[in-house]
């Protein structure tokens, strides 16, 4: 299978499928088509499908004339009919991965896409997840869905990998074509084939890592790094303003050091599709291993600082955040023994298998549930004591005690 696929990639005889035609998927589909691969875009939104098939661009990073030409010559088309997955050899999943009301990863779009693909997956197909997600998603979630839904075996009948999207919307210099790709796959053969597929478009701008989890963590690291440093420089901007110090002059001076410093500049705060969200994916996964990501969570308090919260208010927010974090952890412990793998989206009874000491193992599930309720109610009381009321935060905390995933 490996040699056959490598040969077909070199000869541009691979048909590409891209699931999700948003700001990540459409530019990827265009670049694959420009590289000579017949490309089919899949999206559940009929309006996007119609616009692509009409050659109309709706993404800033795509050149209108290029899209129109690719559609005219039949290299690129779009559909909402996932039965056409059977006609593709390579499929990239580029769907959104937002946060749910609990500020936890919402991978429902990834999961539903994988199920849609699985029903039409054929032997010899390459599947790559590009959506930003927590480490472990490709092998713990996508792989079982594809195997059970298709009856095929990963590594033997199809290849599976992860290659994070690194699109910076609006960047005039770095776009899909010239931004290096990181590739991690399940098995060496899959690794070689997927790297060759991206290399056919990007040349030597492909960095191969040992596993999908490493590639998944790479994207989370990139955006968490930016999150923390943006929060740091904005906090310093507030302090320097109060001290009468020109922070821009400070940064220019610090930049003269030829090593150990990367310049970040003050701005309106965190924004975009990924940077404000990705750290939550990491903190959520870290709780599974009993690890508290204190520095990352501290960077998430930047909003309160930039909103002009007083020292007293910041302490209240910090205490509420600690209660919420612990409540999340205990609730995860409870769900590990009371939920199902299908409902939870990850293996259950993992704490017991790994001999982890949890609130549930120490005090039992009912008492642990009581602790979640106590911590949640206290967090709500703390937040309600602030002059700046936020109904969304109240709803978020209160929903902790009833969540099932």
Please name the residues in contact with 59: beta carbons below 8 A apart, sequence gap of 6 or more.
Answer: 22, 23, 26, 27
Give dist(CA 328, CA 202) in Å, integer: 41
Instruction: At 183, give phi and psi (nearest 5°).
Output: -130, 125
- For the chain, how many helices (H) and strands (E)? 19, 8
The DSSP output letter for 134 is -
Instruction: Give kind and range of the element (H or E) at residue 111.
Output: helix 108-118
In the annotation, is 274 catalytic?
Answer: yes
Give dist(CA 85, CA 125) in Å, integer: 10
Residue closest to 209 by CA, chosen among 177, 28, 219: 219
* Residue among 94, 154, 240, 274 flagged as catalytic: 274
Residues 59/63/67/68 CA torsion (nearest 10 deg): 110
Give dist(CA 309, CA 304) in Å, integer: 6
Joined together, the tokens standing for residue 203 give 């040349």
Give dist(CA 390, CA 69) in Å, integer: 49
Q: Nearest 5 degrees, angle CA 343-CA 345-CA 349?
A: 85
Q: Cβ distance 405 to 336 under 8 Å?
A: no
Residue closest to 81 by CA, chosen among 28, 130, 128, 117: 117
Q: Cβ distance 152 to 115 under 8 Å?
A: no
Catalytic center residues:
274
């Amino acid at each position: 299978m490996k040699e056959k696929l490598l040969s077909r990639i070199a000869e541009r005889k691979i048909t590409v499928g891209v699931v999700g035609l948003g700001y990540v998927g459409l530019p990827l589909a265009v670049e694959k088509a420009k590289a000579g691969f017949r490309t089919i875009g899949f999206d559940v939104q009929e309006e996007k499908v119609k616009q692509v098939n009409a050659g109309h661009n709706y993404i800033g990073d795509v050149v209108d004339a290029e899209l129109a030409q690719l559609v005219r010559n039949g290299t690129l088309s779009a559909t909402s009919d996932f039965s056409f997955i059977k006609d593709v050899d390579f499929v990239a999943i580029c769907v959104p991965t937002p946060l749910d009301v609990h500020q936890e990863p919402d991978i429902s779009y990834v999961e539903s896409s994988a199920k849609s693909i699985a029903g039409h997956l054929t032997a010899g197909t390459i599947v790559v997840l590009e959506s930003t997600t927590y480490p472990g998603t490709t092998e713990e979630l996508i792989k079982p869905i594809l195997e059970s839904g298709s009856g095929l075996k990963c590594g033997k009948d199809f290849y599976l990998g992860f290659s994070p999207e690194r699109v910076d919307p609006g960047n005039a210099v770095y776009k899909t074509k010239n931004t290096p790709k990181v590739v991690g796959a399940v098995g060496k053969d899959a690794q070689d084939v997927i790297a060759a597929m991206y290399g056919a478009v990007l040349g030597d701008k492909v960095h191969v890592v040992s596993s999908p989890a490493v590639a998944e963590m790479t994207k989370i690291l990139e955006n968490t790094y930016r999150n923390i440093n943006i929060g740091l420089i904005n906090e310093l901007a507030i302090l320097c303003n109060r001290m009468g110090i020109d922070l821009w002059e400070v940064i220019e001076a610090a930049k003269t050091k030829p090593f150990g410093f990367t310049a970040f500049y003050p701005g309106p705060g965190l924004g975009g599709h990924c940077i404000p969200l990705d750290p939550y994916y990491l903190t959520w996964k870290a709780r599974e291993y009993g690890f508290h990501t204190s520095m990352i969570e501290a960077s998430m308090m930047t909003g309160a600082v930039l909103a002009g919260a007083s020292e007293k208010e910041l302490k209240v927010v910090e205490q509420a955040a600690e209660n919420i974090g612990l409540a999340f952890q205990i609730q995860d412990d409870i769900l590990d023994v009371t939920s199902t793998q299908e409902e939870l989206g990850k293996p259950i009874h993992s704490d017991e298998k790994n001999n982890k000491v949890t609130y549930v193992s120490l005090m039992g599930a009912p008492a642990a549930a009581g602790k979640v309720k106590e911590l949640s109610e206290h967090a709500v009381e703390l937040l309600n004591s602030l002059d700046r009321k936020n109904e969304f935060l109240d709803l978020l905390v209160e929903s902790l005690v009833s969540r099932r995933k």
